[in-house]
Structure 1
Amino acid sequence: MDFELHTQRLLLRRWLPSDRAPFALLNADAEVMRYFPARLDRAQSDGLAARADALFDVYGYGLWALERLDTGEFIGFTGLAPMPEGVPGAGGVEVGWRLAPSAWGHGFATEAATAALRFGFETMELTEVNSITAVVNIRSRKVMERLGMRPAGEFDHPRLAPGSALRRHVRYRLPAV
């Protein structure tokens, strides 16, 4: 199966060794990781990249590395992954993204996630896709809404400690049409 997707401005592709350094910078950035429990060091970031790419071999979908077509720049990832255990929608599929600050505000997350959703529904024949984020992550929630996703309830994320400002999460969902 060909795992590359193209949009007007982006290439969604499998991960390359050259993606590791810019991905590590992205994962070490305090603003990028604002709605995650902690920033990642290089080893953690490399591990995440390896797991993101391995999803393709296991599930037939995964978290694509994002490359701008006009510059060839790696700008982050967008794609599909299994929903975490212990959260509403567990056992299903989630669409997610993480982009470098230089890529924010250009519609890249929405553009890439639209392509990932189309792949999920048309190629993988998914019946529903979820997305979760901290309630306070308004930027990601706006992307979910632009994708046509609708809120499906709030919950306390089981991997975050009580009292964490990020513990309260919201689940969005999009059924296949």
Structure 2
Amino acid sequence: MQRVRLKKGSYQVHFETPRLLIRPFTTTDLTDLYHFMKNPKLAAMAGWQPPTSRQESWSVLRMFIRSDEVFALMEKATQHVIGSIGLHRRVPSAIKPEDDSRELSFILGEAYWGQGLMPEAVNAILRYGFIDLKLQEIWVGHFQDNYRSQRVIEKTGFHFEYEFERPRLFSNQPPIEEVYYKLTAADFRGHY
């Protein structure tokens, strides 16, 4: 269920699922964010270098706080932030100039894998995107060997669109295959 709360003259979006609170990031999330971001396994799956200090995580946190595209995933039972989820604006093109398409991103701390938490969060953000934002399509991608993300994507109704070779993310890595999926508003209505 979605809740919208007034803060400083503007609305902030909050969602509640059976086990999660999905809300904007705050400065108090630094320790939790650093904890899950420093996992090298998670960083490799997401395509970033793990932070080497809380200060590096602070830079990311400030960016998340300023954004209206990224939300913290807070586990209700512990009140800890265990991941993030976002709906990012896509660059409009001459073919599709409207802002009715977004790209989904998600990350979850390793200790919480395999519990169905990410499909729960994705389903909530899809409802927000298609019902509240009136999006017409949501895209999502994963690196070819990230089977956990692939399973979440397929479980939540996305359809394969294409695959491409992404140039190196970092100088010491070879190019990597990335797989992309799409869910349309019509698909969403048929799936949910």
Letter in 2 for 1:9: R
1:113, distance to aligned residue in structure 2 (A)? 1.0
Q: Does 1:28 align with 2:70?
A: no
The answer on whether the counterparts of 1:136 and 1:166 sit within 8 Å (CA) in structure 2 is: no
SS of residue in 1 equivalent to 2:152? helix
The letter of the residue matching 1:121 is F
> TM-score with structure 2 length normalisation?
0.78
Matched, 1:54 2:61: no
Q: How far apart are 1:174 and its partner, in Å?
A: 0.5
Bigger radius of gyration: 2
**2:180 is aligned with 1:168:** no
- Do the aligned partners of 1:82 and 1:94 also contact (CA within 8 Å) in 2? yes
1:39 is paired with a residue whose SS is: coil
Structure 2: gaps (5+ residues): 1-10, 187-192
Number of the residue aligned with 1:112: 121
Match of 1:17 in 2: 27
- 2:16 maps to 6
Q: How many residues align?
A: 168
Query: Is there any run of 5+ residues in structure 1 with no aligned partner, and where?
Result: 57-61
Cα displacement (A) at 1:44? 3.3
The equivalences for 1:87-98 within 5 A come to 92-98=101-107
Give the alignment partner of residue 145 of structure 1, picking from 129, 132, 154: 154
Deviation sequence 1:15-38 (CA, Å, 0-9, x none) = 121211121121111121132242
Match of 1:77, as an amino acid? S
Deviations 1:47-74 (A, max 9, x none): 2222223221xxxxx2110111122121
1:163, distance to aligned residue in structure 2 (A)? 8.7
Structure-2 residue corresponding to 1:156: 165
What do you get for the CA RMSD once the two structures are aligned? 2.4
Could you tell me which residue of structure 2 aligns to residue 131 of structure 1? 140
Give me the whole-angstrom Cα distance separating, in 1, the residues matched to 2:34 and 2:104: 21
Q: CA deviation at 1:157?
A: 2.1
Q: Which structure has the highest strand share of the two?
A: 2
Runs ≥4 residues deviating over 6 A: none
